Structure 1
Amino acid sequence: MESISVFEIIKVGIGPSSSHTMGPWNAASAFIRIIKRERSISEVKEVFLEFFGSLAKTGIGHGTDIAGMLGLNGEDFTTINTSKIDEKIEKIKKDQIIHLGGEKEIPFIYGYHLVLNMQKSLDFHPNGMIFKAVFEDGTELVQDFYSVGGGFIASQEKNSIEKHCVRTLYPCHHGSDIVKYCDKLGLKKFSDLIMINEESWRTPEETRLQALNIWKNIKECIYKGVNKEGILPGGLNVTRRAAGINRKLLGDKVYKNIDEWFQQVVDAEENFTNINKWIACFALAVNEENASFGRIITAPTNGASGVIPAVLMYSQAFTECISEDDIVRFLLVAGEIGTLFKKNATISAAMGGCQAEIGVSSAMAAAGLTEILGGSIGQVMMAAEIAMEHHLGLTCDPIKGLVQIPCIERNTMGAMKAITAANIALESDPTKAKVTLDEVIQTMWETALSMSDRFKETSEGGLAIAVNVPEC
């Protein structure tokens, strides 16, 4: 089994969905690279893109079509000016031209060259898409892709696209592996083992810098969210709430930048109610940014991108775990827990419902928080198990296919459950636990397989059809 770096699970992304936005964007970029490898961009006459299954059914609400076009246009979601996305898409549609790979202008008619096929699903995975390039000589290049969660893509031929197989020094594919190797090496901290394994990709210094860069992006995303008001795009007319909560909690306190704002948060009145409100505010801020094509941290997905930031920000503002080492250790542990779900179950709501997104992110956050609060390796594992146990069966039924209702509020709940799970684990003896992390991961996967497709990000069941939202 291939090892996965924690920074493949926790990474810089763009809203509103990792599987429905980042995955198709990555696939389009990969298709451009395949064209360059097999032929050349200059030989391409036309390019076609067809989305199937869940990608098609909720594609408009998730910006799947936008991601496909921008990826083919040679844009990079980690660097694109997010405020220019609407302008770029409008130009493609109006001019009916795409700048393929950023190199060659070719005709591109929305609805003809890009199609959302809601009547058909591909067998390999619900999030399927097919790209086709037609060359000047009449020959074709066809490639299938599947967005398998968290921005990861695959094809039927390859389990993962354009990735080098890495085997860490101490492969941790199950929770039991982590316990085994920590015991073998005499390690007292979960994060110590993960830091060793991350050396398969980069030096410890580079790992530390990458973790701190993730934290920097988290703070910037929250700060943007708590300072932006208005209505979220998409037609549901959802009002941004993080800014209002932030304003009420800070009262008449003023700030000019992120650091001044953060200090005001730390200095604000602390009581149980206010701290809970701040946790909700942090999560709302991130997911409101996500819903509006903002730059966020995918952890492990975009729909669940507010949980880990909210819990990590909570630790920095309201606990004594405020060092850079605490931030690094939190993210290493959280990311490694995410890899266990990725390898042994799924982190795709289209495959497993929202238990695969909010449930996994809550388990990740619970483990990270337990680690920096002084929990043992067994308590860290127990916290992750508790958090997931109480998300089992959670469906994904977004209204109008938008990552807004119930997604945004659901992140606040996942954060609260993560903190509760950590507190329970820290007061418990993990040797007396009746359910292991590996067992709950297996249970989650079995639940996913048994769940109706109506509740797997298709907007065909649950709230998506129970709530009557008029078309705009």
Structure 2
Amino acid sequence: MFLSVFDVFKIGIGPSSSHTMGPMTAAGHFLDLLRRDPARDRAAAVKATLYGSLAFTGKGHATDRAVALGLLGWTPAAFDFDAAERQLDELGRSHLLRHDGLPPLAFDPATDIVFDYGPPLPGHANGLVFCARDSAGAELLSETYYSIGGGFVVTAQEREAPTASTQTSSWPYPFANAATMLRMAKESGLSIAAMKRANEIHLQPAEEVESGLARLWSVMNDCIERGMNQEGELPGGLRVRRRAAHIHRQLAAEKLANRSQPHASTDWLSVYAMAVNEENAAGGRVVTSPTNGAAGVVPAVLRYYLDHCVGAEPEKVSDFLLTAAAIGGLIKHNASISGAEAGCQGEVGSAAAMAAAGLCAVLGGSPAQIENAAEIALEHHLGMTCDPAAGLVQVPCIERNGIGAIKAVAAASLALRGDGSHFMPLDNCIEAMRQTGEAMNERFKETSLGGLAVNLPEC
């Protein structure tokens, strides 16, 4: 099993990796598929149908907008907001998609994106189907995609019969679970970060790995800074106001006046995380960590390490991210990081486990202590539902990232106080999360049909 750090952490846009980035990516894949189809010259129109959680919370997550942007040729990593808005405006007038290698395709986002509120597709809660038709309305090509969390997209065929792109044994340290990871660390004498780095270098040159990690942190940190300097209401109609900038000013003033409270460090953690998730809710540029809905936890804890931990070393940023990615890969491989599949335990729970592991690593923790830190953080998110009000990644998601970051730091601290031995292995905790997600009522898995989403103040 190998999942690159650049798969776990992907630069993209808000508000959702599974509902925004995934559908945008799927739309681009469908265009590529159509270009390769023998009947492409007869194609005259395109239609998209959203199922399951993509239908129920698609409006709040801007899934329809993401589909249109993907069909216009945009990708999450190369997104330019102003240029994309101009193209969307033009599409709204012309109702035509124009691409090299394809004839003009009729597409009106208002009518050709269908929200199907019936049963979800069988492969995953986040399903969507693209269809191309000829001028007479006959179907030429259809493909089903599943957005499985974290911006990852698979076709129905890939979901039913997954195939590994490379043999597991080809990687220097092919750990598929935490037990194997710990055994390999012990046998090799390497840290988790060093093993993960060796796997990455097997895929691309070392300098590219390091520059890529530096860019990830740069985008994460820029997102924190933007979020701490933006004011006003978030889009979507809930009239939720940004709070990170106000809290940041309070904390900075208290620090300058030497009036900081003993618990101020947790306030800093929260404001870093909330800044990221306010940016995400506004459709800004974020790094999936491992999802957009949980994008604030890892950056917040890493920024906390650099700004508030005695003896912090900036050169350890890459070790933090590599260690976090190793844990995120294990969770995705053996359970899920999708809120629509596992609830928020799969999103903020996974992010907290990743952040706890990363912090424990850069503070000198052993592989066993790192595994313990990840388990503590994940264990105390088990059963957490995903119940966003109005399908928007705002309530309770923004605050939840702040609390997840606090839990991550507490988990790392507890693990460092021990010797790494503990009762519940991380592998068992991940399996418990998978089972809990399977048993969780669908209303509490990103459908906005239960929990906080249906217990709103009367206006």
Q: Output the TM-score relative to the length of structure 1.
A: 0.91
Moved more, 237-246 or 74-83: 74-83
Picking from 439, 442, 455, the partner of 2:444 is 455
Q: Which amino acid aligns with 2:435?
A: E
Match of 2:153 in 1: 153
Check 1:95–1:405 CA distance in 2 against 1; reply closer, same or farther (3 A cut).
same
Q: Which amino acid aligns with 2:322?
A: L
Match of 2:189 in 1: 186
Q: Secondary structure at the match of 2:97?
A: strand
Q: Is the 8 A contact 2:9 2:288 kept in 1?
A: yes
Q: Which amino acid aligns with 2:222?
A: E
Q: Output the TM-score relative to the length of structure 2.
A: 0.94
Question: Displacement, 1:89?
Answer: 3.2
> Take 1:52 and 1:445, find their aligned partners in 2: how far apart are those partners?
22
Q: Is the 8 A contact 1:46 1:133 kept in 2?
A: yes
Check 1:270–1:374 CA distance in 2 against 1; reply closer, same or farther (3 A cut).
farther
Q: Which amino acid aligns with 1:456?
A: K
> Take 1:430 and 1:233, find their aligned partners in 2: how far apart are those partners?
45
Question: Displacement, 1:43?
Answer: 4.2
> Take 2:111 and 2:301, find their aligned partners in 1: how far apart are those partners?
45
> Take 1:206 and 1:323, find their aligned partners in 2: how far apart are those partners?
21
Question: Displacement, 1:274?
Answer: 2.4
Gaps of 5+ in 2: none
Check 1:186–1:460 CA distance in 2 against 1; reply closer, same or farther (3 A cut).
same
Check 1:416–1:266 CA distance in 2 against 1; reply closer, same or farther (3 A cut).
farther
> Take 2:335 and 2:373, find their aligned partners in 1: how far apart are those partners?
18
Match of 2:292 in 1: 302
> Take 1:278 and 1:101, find their aligned partners in 2: how far apart are those partners?
49
Moved more, 454-463 or 116-125: 116-125
Gaps of 5+ in 1: 253-264
Question: Displacement, 1:28?
Answer: 0.5
Question: Displacement, 1:292?
Answer: 0.8
> Take 1:107 and 1:28, find their aligned partners in 2: how far apart are those partners?
15
Check 1:162–1:440 CA distance in 2 against 1; reply closer, same or farther (3 A cut).
closer
Match of 1:262 in 2: none
> Take 2:257 and 2:185, find their aligned partners in 1: how far apart are those partners?
38
> Take 2:98 and 2:274, find their aligned partners in 1: how far apart are those partners?
36
Q: Secondary structure at the match of 2:77?
A: coil
Residues 458-469 of structure 1 aligned to structure 2 (within 5 Å):
458-468=447-457
Q: Is the 8 A contact 1:290 1:296 kept in 2?
A: yes
Q: Secondary structure at the match of 1:434?
A: coil
Q: Is the 8 A contact 1:145 1:154 kept in 2?
A: yes
Check 1:430–1:468 CA distance in 2 against 1; reply closer, same or farther (3 A cut).
same
Check 1:329–1:266 CA distance in 2 against 1; reply closer, same or farther (3 A cut).
farther
> Take 2:289 and 2:126, find their aligned partners in 1: how far apart are those partners?
19
Match of 1:357 in 2: 347
Match of 1:442 in 2: 431
Check 1:199–1:266 CA distance in 2 against 1; reply closer, same or farther (3 A cut).
farther
Check 1:461–1:112 CA distance in 2 against 1; reply closer, same or farther (3 A cut).
same
Q: Is the 8 A contact 2:306 2:314 kept in 1?
A: no
Q: Secondary structure at the match of 2:115?
A: strand
Match of 2:338 in 1: 348
Question: Displacement, 1:166?
Answer: 5.6
Q: Secondary structure at the match of 1:62?
A: coil
Q: Secondary structure at the match of 1:147?
A: strand
> Take 1:397 and 1:84, find their aligned partners in 2: how far apart are those partners?
33
> Take 2:323 and 2:144, find their aligned partners in 1: how far apart are those partners?
34
Q: Secondary structure at the match of 2:384?
A: coil
Q: Is the 8 A contact 2:51 2:128 kept in 1?
A: yes
Render the CA deviation track for 1:248-283: whole Å, top value 9, x for unaligned: 22239xxxxxxxxxxxx9998765332222111111
> Take 1:102 and 1:412, find their aligned partners in 2: how far apart are those partners?
47
Match of 2:378 in 1: 388
> Take 1:402 and 1:110, find their aligned partners in 2: how far apart are those partners?
20
Check 1:124–1:212 CA distance in 2 against 1; reply closer, same or farther (3 A cut).
same
Question: Displacement, 1:85?
Answer: 4.7
Residues 57-206 of structure 1 aligned to structure 2 (within 5 Å):
57-83=56-82, 85-100=84-99, 105-135=104-134, 138=138, 140-159=140-159, 164-165=165-166, 167=168, 168-187=171-190, 189-206=191-208
Check 1:200–1:271 CA distance in 2 against 1; reply closer, same or farther (3 A cut).
farther
Check 1:299–1:321 CA distance in 2 against 1; reply closer, same or farther (3 A cut).
farther
Match of 2:22 in 1: 23
Q: Is the 8 A contact 1:366 1:419 kept in 2?
A: yes
> Take 1:13 and 1:469, find their aligned partners in 2: how far apart are those partners?
35
